[in-house]
Amino acid sequence: MDAAELAFAGIHRQAEALRGGAVSSTDLTEMYLERIGRFDGVLNAFRVVLAERARAEAAAADRRIAAGETAPLLGVPIAVKDNVDVAGEVTTLGTAAYDRPATADCAHYRRLREAGAVLLGKTNLPELAIWPFTESPTWGRTRNPWNSGRSAGGSSGGSAVAVAAGLVGAASASDGGGSIRIPAAHCGLFGLKPQRGRISLMPEAEHWLGLSVAGCVSRRVIDTALWLDAAAGSEPGDADTPPAPERSWVEAATRSPGSLRIALTVSVPRPVAPPIVSGEVKAGVERIATLLRSLGHEVVERDPEWGGVGNDITPRYLGGIAAEGRQVPNPGRLEARTRGMIRLGRLLPGRALRRSLGAEAGHAERLSRVLGDADLLLMPTVGTVPPEVDRWAGKGALRTLMSISRAYPCTIPWNYTGQPAASVPLPPERPGELPLAGQLVAPSNREDLLLSVSTQLEAEIGWPERVPGGYE
C-alpha cells in the first residue's frame, strides 16, 4: 500500500499489516502526523495532537511486535474525542471551563490502550457535546472535508473529520442524541450507536440520564467491529450491562445476515418543532431500500407508532445537560448558549423529568412493534444535507434547540429507548455534491445484525473507496 492508501485503510487492515510486518507502527504514526500537519489547519479536527506521546507509544509497540507479542490494536494509531479521560491530559469537553488534567484513564480509553492502540490526539466537539455541529468560541469551527464551507455535524465532528480526511483510521465518538450517527452521515462514514452500556462510561455510571453511549466512527464496518471487540464490556458500577455477544463483533460483521425483512419509513417524530426531511434525504433512503431488495431482503413500508415520544425525550435531554452543568468547575467560562441550555434544564418541573424517565418502557415497547414482524427498520439519519458552517452562530439556546430539532429529529428516539442504530453512508456521486445516509435500527442487543447488513451495503455501495477531493 502507498501512503494515501494506507491512510484510508482503516484500523482492521492496519492491524493486519502490522502483524504481518508490512508496515511499522512508527511509520504509520509519522504518516498520520504529517497528514495532520498538512490538512488540519483548515479542518480543525484535533483539539490537541500528542505527537511525542504517539511517537513513544509507536516505538514501544514496534518493540513488542518484534518480540512476538500480539494484541488486537497493537501499534494502530487512533484518536479519541475530547470527552474521553486520558490520564495526564485535560478533558475539555469542547470548552474552556475545564482546565485540570485527568487523574486516570476512563474505562473506554483504558481498554483501547490495553489493546495496544497508539494515541495520536484528542478531537474537537461542541461545548459539553450538546450540539449536532462542532463549533465553539474556545476551539473554533470544525469543517467538513467534502466541502469546507459545510458543517461536519456533531457532537463527534472532530472524530468524523479526522477519519473522513485520512488523518486517522478510526476515532472514538459518543452519542447522546445522534452524535455518532449525525457526523458519520455528514462526513460519509459508518457510525454505529451501540446498545446502551455496551462500552462502559466509567467513571460515570451513566451520562445524560442514560441517553449517552460510547463508540467510534470509521470508514469500514469491520473497523467499528474491531473497535467494539477491543473496547466493549461492562465495568463495576455501570448503570446498564447488556449481555455479551455470542461471537466476536468482527465475526458478526463478516457473517451473512441471511434474507431479512426490513421495515422502511421516511416518517419521523416531532421532538420540539415540526421536523424537516428533505427530498434529497428521502431519495437517499429509497436508494438504500432498493439496494437491500437487490441483496435479497424484503423491504416493506411501515411507519413506527411515534406517538408522543418527542414530548418525553426533550425533558430527559435538557435534564441531562442540567445535571452535567452542575459538575462544570468553571461555569462562568461556558458560552452563553450553553449556560442557556443548562438554565432550561433547571427550569424543568421535576414531574416532567420523572414522567420522561418513567415513560421510557412504554415508548420503547410501542416503537418496537415495527420490529415485531421485521428484523430491522430503515429510516433517515438526518433531515437535511450538511448545513453551512455558522448556521446557528449567534443564536440563543431556545432558538438553536428549536431549529436543530427540526433538522435532526431522526436519531434521538433510539437514545431514549437504548437500542442500537447505525448510519450507513451514500457518498457523493459527483464533485460538489454532499454525502447522504440512511439509518438502520435494530432490536435491543442486535448490533450483530447492523454490522452484518452494513457490511453487505458497504460492498455494494463501495463507500470506503470514495474519499474527499484533495485528501487522496
Catalytic (active-site) positions? 81, 155, 179
Determine the 3-state secondary structure of 363 from DSSP.
helix
Provide the b/e sequence for 59-94 (b: ≥16 CB within 10 Å).
bebbebbeeeeebbbbbbbbbbbbbbbbeebbbbbb
Determine the 3-state secondary structure of 83 from DSSP.
coil
pLDDT (0 to 100) of residue 1: 77
Q: Which residues contact 331 (CB under 8 A, 6 or more apart)?
A: 97, 325, 339, 342
Q: How many residues does the chain have?
A: 472
Alpha-helical segments (H) within 348-429: 350-358, 360-367, 397-407, 412-417
Residue 210 CA to residue 317 CA, distance in Å, equals 10
Using a 10 angstrom Cβ sphere, with 0-12 exposed, 13-18 middle and 19 or more buried, the burial of residue 433 is middle
DSSP helix, strand, coil percent of the chain (3-state; round to 5)? 40, 15, 45
Residue 409 CA to residue 152 CA, distance in Å, equals 17
For 3-465, give the CATH class.
alpha beta
What is the model's pTM?
Answer: 0.98
C-beta separation of 93 from 132 below 8 A: no
Provide the b/e sequence for 345-363 (b: ≥16 CB within 10 Å).
beebeeebbeebeebbeeb
pLDDT (0 to 100) of residue 275: 94
C-beta separation of 7 from 463 below 8 A: no
pLDDT (0 to 100) of residue 272: 77
pLDDT (0 to 100) of residue 270: 84
Pairing label, strands 147-151, 143-144? antiparallel
Per-residue pLDDT of the chain (472 residues; tens, 9 = 90+): 788 899 999 999 999 999 999 999 999 999 999 999 999 999 999 999 999 999 999 999 999 999 999 999 999 999 999 999 999 999 999 999 999 999 999 999 999 999 999 999 999 999 999 999 999 999 999 999 999 999 999 999 999 999 999 999 999 999 999 999 999 999 999 999 999 999 999 999 999 999 999 999 999 999 999 999 999 999 999 999 999 999 999 999 999 999 999 999 999 998 778 899 999 999 999 999 999 999 999 999 999 999 999 989 999 999 999 999 999 999 999 999 999 999 999 999 999 999 999 999 999 999 999 999 999 999 999 999 999 999 999 999 999 999 999 999 999 999 999 999 999 999 998 888 999 999 999 999 999 999 999 999 999 999 999 999 999 8
Residue 309 CA to residue 5 CA, distance in Å, equals 44
Residue 240 CA to residue 122 CA, distance in Å, equals 26
